[in-house]
């Protein structure tokens, strides 16, 4: 009778079933197990905030068997963690890479907080360009969701109506609003964590605050923007200190690009910049000055 409706229902269930074959339960915290996705052969992606211990981790596969897993590494900045799973031939996630999620697209969030697969549905409510998490790490695109969060939501995949994976869901990056970490970011983090066990990020060892450059000085120095960043703290012996930056310098440009916001600095400091000198343009004593600073590798638990 109601054919299209029943076809939709069946297709959604089919999508859940096929994508669910790569969704696992991870036993790495008390109470409820967390969800994870078998992303590449031997690599399971989960969310950092749901993996509370580093050792003694086991994974329950969709077929009900349990296998030991080891933590390859974590990236608190993107809330991702990667586990190594040895000798498994379980299916891996079928990722959608040809088209990004669209606002209004019907999506399903899968989880496996135990032996059974769980799902909630909704729509993509917002899609935007690259954004920074509160810890300063860049995520390739912002994907916000309008759907119910439940136990096991974080670490599970967001899938489209065809069962293809659009990313990893988390409720810990945007004040409880469900977001999806897109496939591109997950790929990058998985590669880095599987190879190195850590995400390298460059840093300068400075603290800054946006300031307005006096109009007369801006005119005299022929500045394009009158907002710049005042160096308010300098890590003693850090990369900036070592290469001659001073407290009180007003930072105008990094690598030829204007910086108006502390986030602009972070945007210039990807892991590949470690040890490679960057041209830093500052105002010092009313004069323009250009320095060469080589970013260091950011120690864990430090901002910029």
Q: Which residues bind other proteins (CB under 8 A)?
A: 1-6, 8-10, 12-17, 20, 108, 115-121, 147-151
Looking at the Cβ atoms of 164 and 188, the one nearer to other proteins is 164
- Nearest approach in angstroms of CB 120 to other proteins is 4
CB 174 to other proteins: min, Å: 17
Residue nearer to other proteins on the CB measure, 131 or 150 = 150
Distance in angstroms (rounded) separating the CA atoms of residues 205 and 240: 6
The angle formed by the CA atoms of residues 45, 168 and 111, to the nearest 5 degrees, is: 85
> Which residue number, 64 or 256, has a Cβ lying nearer to other proteins?
64
Enumerate the β-bridge partners of residue 157. Answer: 168
Question: Could you tell me the smallest distance in angstroms from the CB atom of residue 186 to other proteins?
Answer: 23
Choice between 17 and 195, CB closer to other proteins: 17
65 vs 191, which CB is nearer to other proteins?
A: 65
Residue 214 main-chain phi, psi, to 5 deg: -55, 140
Question: Quick one: 85 or 119, whose CB is closer to other proteins?
Answer: 119
Which is nearer to other proteins, 151 or 255 (by Cβ)? 151
State the CB neighbour count (10 A cutoff) for residue 40.
Answer: 16
* Beta carbons of 200 and 269 less than 8 angstroms apart: no
CA 73/CA 237 separation, integer angstroms: 28
State the virtual CA torsion across 229, 234, 239, 244 in degrees, nearest 10.
80
Q: Which residue has the tokens 């008390």?
A: 30
Give min distance, CB of 146 to other proteins, in A.
Answer: 12
Nearest distance in Å: CB 155, other proteins: 17
Strand partners, 280: 254, 291
CB of 231 to other proteins, least distance (A): 47
Counting Cβ atoms within 10 Å, is residue 278 exposed (0-12), middle (13-18) or buried (19+)? buried
Structure tokens, 161: 């109506």
What is the nearest approach in angstroms of other proteins to the Cβ of residue 159? Answer: 10
Minimum CB separation of residue 173 from other proteins in Å reads: 19
CB nearer to other proteins: pick between 26 and 119: 119
CA angle 83, 96, 93 (to 5 degrees): 35
Q: Of 232, 304, 292, 230, which Cα lies nearest the Cα of 268?
A: 304
Note the helical H segments in 167-252: 183-196, 215-220, 239-242
């Amino acid at each position: 009778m109601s054919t299209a409706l029943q076809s939709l229902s069946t297709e959604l269930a089919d999508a859940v079933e096929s994508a669910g074959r790569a969704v696992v339960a991870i036993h790495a915290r008390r109470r409820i197990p967390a969800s994870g996705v078998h992303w590449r052969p031997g690599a399971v992606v989960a969310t950092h905030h749901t993996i509370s211990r580093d050792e003694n981790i086991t994974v329950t596969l969709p077929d009900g068997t349990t296998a030991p897993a080891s933590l390859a590494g974590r990236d608190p900045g993107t809330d991702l963690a990667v586990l190594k799973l040895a000798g498994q031939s379980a299916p891996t996630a079928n990722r959608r890479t040809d088209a990004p999620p669209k606002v209004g697209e019907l999506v399903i969030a899968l989880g496996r907080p135990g032996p059974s697969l769980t799902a909630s549905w909704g729509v993509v409510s917002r899609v935007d360009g690259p954004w920074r998490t509160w810890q300063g790490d860049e995520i390739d695109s912002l994907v916000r969701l309008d759907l119910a969060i439940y136990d096991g939501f974080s670490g599970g995949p967001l899938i489209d109506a065809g069962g293809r994976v659009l990313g990893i869901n988390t409720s810990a990056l945007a004040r409880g609003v469900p977001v999806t970490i897109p496939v591109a970011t997950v790929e990058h983090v998985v590669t880095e964590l599987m190879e190195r066990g850590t995400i390298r990020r460059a840093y300068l060892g400075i603290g800054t605050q946006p300031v307005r450059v006096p109009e007369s000085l801006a005119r005299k120095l022929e500045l394009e923007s009158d907002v710049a960043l005042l160096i308010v703290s300098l890590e003693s012996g850090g990369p900036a200190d070592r290469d001659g930056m001073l407290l009180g310098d007003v930072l105008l440009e990094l690598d030829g690009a204007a910086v108006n916001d502390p986030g602009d600095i972070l945007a210039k400091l990807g892991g590949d910049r470690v040890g490679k000198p960057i041209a830093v343009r500052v105002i010092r004593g009313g004069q323009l000055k250009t320095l060469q600073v080589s970013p260091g590798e950011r120690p864990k638990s430090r901002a910029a």
